[in-house]
A and B are shown apart, each in its own frame.
Chain A
Amino acid sequence: MSIHLTDKEAEIRESRLGSITNFRGGARELCMKSQAGTLVNEERRFTQCTSCSSTTAVCQLSMIQDAAVVNHAPLGCAGDFSSFNFTNRNGQVKRGMKLQNAHLLSSNLRERDMIYGGAERLKTALREARDRFAPRAIFITASCSSGIIGDDLESIASEAEPGLGVPVVPIHCEGFRSGVWATGFDAAYHGILSKIVKPAQNKRQDLVQIVNFWGSDIFTNLLGRIGLKVNYLVPFATIEQLEHLSEAAAIAQICPTLGTYLGVGLEQDFGVPEVKAPPPYGIAGTDAWLRALGRVVKREKQVEALITEEKIRIGPELDKLREQLAGHSGFVGAGAGHGHGILCLLQDLGLKVAGACVWHHDPCLDSGDPEADSLSHLVNNYGDMPFGVCNKQSFEMANMLHHLHPDIFIVRHHGMAVWGAKLGIPTFLMGDEHFAVGYQGLLNYGHKIADTIANPAFINNLASHSRLPYKPWWFDSDLDAFPGGEWF
């Protein structure tokens, strides 16, 4: 596929994968159109604010424990620093690491720099980053401004590198370049793959790299039972760990939307096989993920034993939860791969899917392998369901939630939960992406859902004392009557 580590930047998802951010219909239809290559991304005429690639790039880079990030941008672009620092500190405490603020610096571009260029400002910021943080590598994250004024990050980085004595890695995550913020993950991985990872000296047959965000450590125990060791990427890793990525026996994804670029890059250029499987959520997904991993690391028998043991272990509790949750319906709003996984899991728990919305859709992943196609996995195993692609357009979500009125709304992204709750729908955001992983994940989620539904007092209070910022006609309208948002 089109991953070229010698290029200065990762190609954006729209052109690399044909990714879209607008679709309404059924999951099966989306699947078929993806495979036939007939998806068209109809642009919305009215939109609400989304995220951008620079946030997703910083999401992956800011928690590398011994690196620094220089955000080459006006100060508002550093608005995500405090949130990632919060996540960083929370994760450090959980992992027993040294508690310290993330190493983040803004070059603080101002009006003058828009005229004369920001190169000097960036050079100063790079020196300051070295002096303040003594980092093992410095990442430069680009911004809309630095991109438009044409600052040449490559030459500034390569000129600065010898004097600074550490790799200086430009990350092309200018917000305007892509309407799919997941592009920022690819931009960060492109930098890591092209400038940090080294060819393997020793291959380790027992080591699996897991691409994740900041989920709690459940894989050490789970995969330890089949003799594997686990390393998590990229948050909370060190530069040294990243340098040695190539030594692993396999690289696996908990969300293929997140790690598709890193997985393929590592396989293609460093010979680490990627585990091609749907995400390990729900029974069929976990079966497939573990078996695919077992094949890559040649532990098929151990994997089968693990699957059997785990299913026996969770069986009675799962039956009880299914009984408790039967008849309830759920709506999921999440990133694509993760969302597909949660939809599988809900149906394993006996809930009915009222509908779903994912933030974008990749018609294929970088590997092009159908085994890793999480939407096909969902449709093939669980059938069709109402499905939308919507980059966090909360007015559309509110319309859908109002009409479908599910018993529970499950969100995986900041800033969405409150709109469901104000409509009186019991809602939760799951911040720990590993909470749903594996067979235990079914039980975790089942209990969480049951608890959320059990006492709706807070939700009811919210619903009766707040209102959404839309005119009443919007809630009387069926979103499907406005293809492409043609309602004005």
Chain B
Amino acid sequence: MNTVVEQPRHFCALAAQQTVLAIERAIPLVHAGPGCSAKLFSALSFCNGFQGSGYCGGNAIPCTNTGEKEVVFGGEERLRQLIKGALKLMDGDLFVVLTGCTADLIGDNGGQVVNEFAREGIPIVFAETGGFKGSSYDGHELVLEAIIQQYLNPARSINPKQVNVWASVPYQDPFWSGNLETLKQLLQGLGLEVNILFGHNSGGAAAWKAIPAAAFNLLVSPWVGVRIMKLLQEKFGTPYLHYPGLPIGARETSQFLRAAAAFAGVDSHGVEGFIHVQEQRFYHYLERAADFLLEFRYDLPGRFFVAADAFYTLAVSRFLVNELGLIPGHQFITDETPDEHRPSIISQLADLAPGIGTSVTFTPDGGIIAREMKDYPHQQLPLLIGSSWDRDLAAGLKGYTLSLCPPITDKLVLDRSYAGYSGGLRLIEDIYSAVLERNEQT
């Protein structure tokens, strides 16, 4: 992606530290310059719904803080010291060594240093995540790959009920924690044993060790993680279901559950029973919104625009079109989607519902988003679902806005999720609360 970036919505490969932090009792050991970890924490946790330091994040992250000395003489000895100290001091079950730009540019052989420890049976893995190597999404995949390749062994037996779920990129998706818990509950409804790997009560290192024992892997994401699914299939023979988007609302979630059940070979009768109960509840509450949505006398948003990663742009567009009957304007995908995955995303967006599709711009640059939004021939008040960067842009267009991707500095996010049946209701509440709040102010 050869572009300057204004208003960044994701960061560099070293953002992988946040993926490590999402694994219970896993500890990132960062071999990088003195400010890298703090900046990424600020960007992806603090200024992204104020998600918190967690067990060993923020200022607790062990780091070599490489300086001039290491740049000139090399930093391998410094890394060795850091690892020794961390093993003595830090109370963790899995250690993940990550490099930053400095270590990668000066050519430190971090892998060799880490091997010295791994050979002794210490649970430690290594990933080269120098910032210039790619985006937050790339860094996330690099860490998953490192753990799978260096930490996992083939399973003695397969658990026919176990599914590993791969969906949100932790911290990059401000709602990752709630989303994963929601997906877990939904899939448990099918009678599956669900391994979500990240977040509260996900099982930490033991859950990761159990990855090869799964009957199948379930990837809920347009493209991030596809190569990890292939790796797991190749390495452990585990089949995978690639479900290309986060299910939001009744229609999408029911479809998701049917697909997962079919893949898992779950009896469809029980599945339909579960779906029926969930759908009835969803449409009960949707009906409650009808009076407001049909009779609100002031300005409801006309066209919607989503500026987010492919994960949310697709999911939110599908939900708004199919569940609320909204009309799309133009969409933006900010995650530097690799070229090979774009045609599928473009065609999914072009065909959201019979006769309803939307165009899309792939760009990580907020400046381009702003320019195209201003150039769009708005006839009604737009709804812009993006980040806290976009508040002025939306206000300038007299539109409405909801922050869904980083940075989120206008909301505190705890366990909120937009996934599933109840996630759809949350999204409706949040969009129209933003509308009402602005109408109250003016």
Residues from chain A with a CB closer than 8 A to the CB of B66 are: 144, 176
Give bound CA distance, A105 to B4, whole Å.
Answer: 7
Q: How far is the CB of A140 from chain B (nearest CB, A)?
A: 12
| Interface flags, A134-163, vs B, CB<8A=1, else 0 | 000000000111001100000000000000
Q: Is the CB of A76 within 8 A of B88?
A: no
Give bound CA distance, A392 to B41, whole Å.
Answer: 15
CB of A464 closer than 8 Å to a CB of B: no
Q: Is the CB of B63 within 8 A of A47?
A: yes
Q: Which residues of chain A in 74-120 are interfacial with respect to chain B, using CB atoms and an 8 Å cutoff?
A: 74-83, 85-86, 99-101, 104-111, 113-114
CB of B58 closer than 8 Å to a CB of A: yes
Residues from chain A with a CB closer than 8 A to the CB of B105 are: 114, 144-145, 148-149
Q: Is the CB of B71 within 8 A of A148?
A: yes
Q: Is the CB of A74 within 8 A of B53?
A: no
Q: Is the CB of A177 within 8 A of B68?
A: yes
Q: Is the CB of A83 within 8 A of B47?
A: yes
Q: How far is the CB of B43 from chain A (nearest CB, A)?
A: 4
Residues from chain B with a CB closer than 8 A to the CB of A79 are: 8, 11-12, 39-44
Q: Which residues of chain B in 365-414 are interfacial with respect to chain A, using CB atoms and an 8 Å cutoff?
A: 367, 388-389, 392, 406-407, 409
Give bound CA distance, A291 to B1, whole Å.
Answer: 57
Of A45, A77, A181, the residue contacting B131 (CB under 8 A) is: A77
Q: How far is the CB of B267 from chain A (nearest CB, A)?
A: 40
CB of B123 closer than 8 Å to a CB of A: no
Q: Which of A121-129, A253-261, A340-348, A365-373 contacts B (4 or more CB under 8 A)?
A: A121-129
Q: Is the CB of A469 within 8 A of B55?
A: yes
Of A48, A108, A113, A176, the residue contacting B60 (CB under 8 A) is: A48
Residues from chain A with a CB closer than 8 A to the CB of B133 are: 111
CB of A382 closer than 8 Å to a CB of B: no
Q: Which residues of chain B in 61-113 are interfacial with respect to chain A, using CB atoms and an 8 Å cutoff?
A: 61-68, 70-71, 81-82, 84-86, 88-92, 100-102, 105-106
Among A77, A85, A111, A121, the most chain B Cβ lie within 10 Å of the Cβ of A77
Taking CB as reference atom, which chain A residue is nearest B66? A176
Q: Which of A26-34, A49-57, A272-280, A453-461 contacts B (4 or more CB under 8 A)?
A: A49-57
CB of B302 closer than 8 Å to a CB of A: no
Q: Is the CB of B59 within 8 A of A415?
A: yes
For A, the interface residue count at a CB cutoff of 8 angstroms equals: 71
Give bound CA distance, A345 to B63, whole Å.
Answer: 34
Residues from chain A with a CB closer than 8 A to the CB of B140 are: none
Q: Is the CB of A470 within 8 A of B89?
A: yes
Taking CB as reference atom, which chain B residue is nearest A148? B105
Q: Is the CB of B42 within 8 A of A47?
A: no
CB of B203 closer than 8 Å to a CB of A: no
Give bound CA distance, A349 to B68, whole Å.
Answer: 43
CB of A419 closer than 8 Å to a CB of B: yes
Given A149-B105, A415-B41: A76 and B11 interface contact (C-beta under 8 Å) = yes
Give bound CA distance, A282 to B107, whole Å.
Answer: 51
Residues from chain B with a CB closer than 8 A to the CB of A73 are: 131
Q: How far is the CB of A16 from chain B (nearest CB, A)?
A: 14
Given A415-B53, A469-B55: A46 and B89 interface contact (C-beta under 8 Å) = yes
| Interface flags, B342-384, vs A, CB<8A=1, else 0 | 0000000000000000000000100100000000000000000
Given A52-B34, A52-B35, A99-B392: A488 and B84 interface contact (C-beta under 8 Å) = yes
Q: Which residues of chain A in 380-403 are interfacial with respect to chain B, using CB atoms and an 8 Å cutoff?
A: 392, 394-395
Of B27, B41, B42, B81, the residue contacting A469 (CB under 8 A) is: B27
Q: Is the CB of B44 within 8 A of A81?
A: no
CB of A414 closer than 8 Å to a CB of B: yes
Q: Is the CB of B60 within 8 A of A75?
A: no
Q: How far is the CB of A11 from chain B (nearest CB, A)?
A: 13
- Subset of 20 A-B contacts with CB under 8 Å: A46-B81, A48-B59, A48-B60, A49-B61, A76-B12, A77-B35, A78-B5, A78-B8, A79-B44, A81-B43, A86-B47, A104-B6, A110-B2, A111-B132, A176-B68, A181-B34, A394-B58, A468-B60, A488-B88, A488-B89
What 9 A-B pairs have minimum CB-CB distances, sorted nearest first? A52-B35, A46-B85, A76-B12, A79-B39, A82-B407, A79-B43, A49-B37, A74-B131, A49-B63
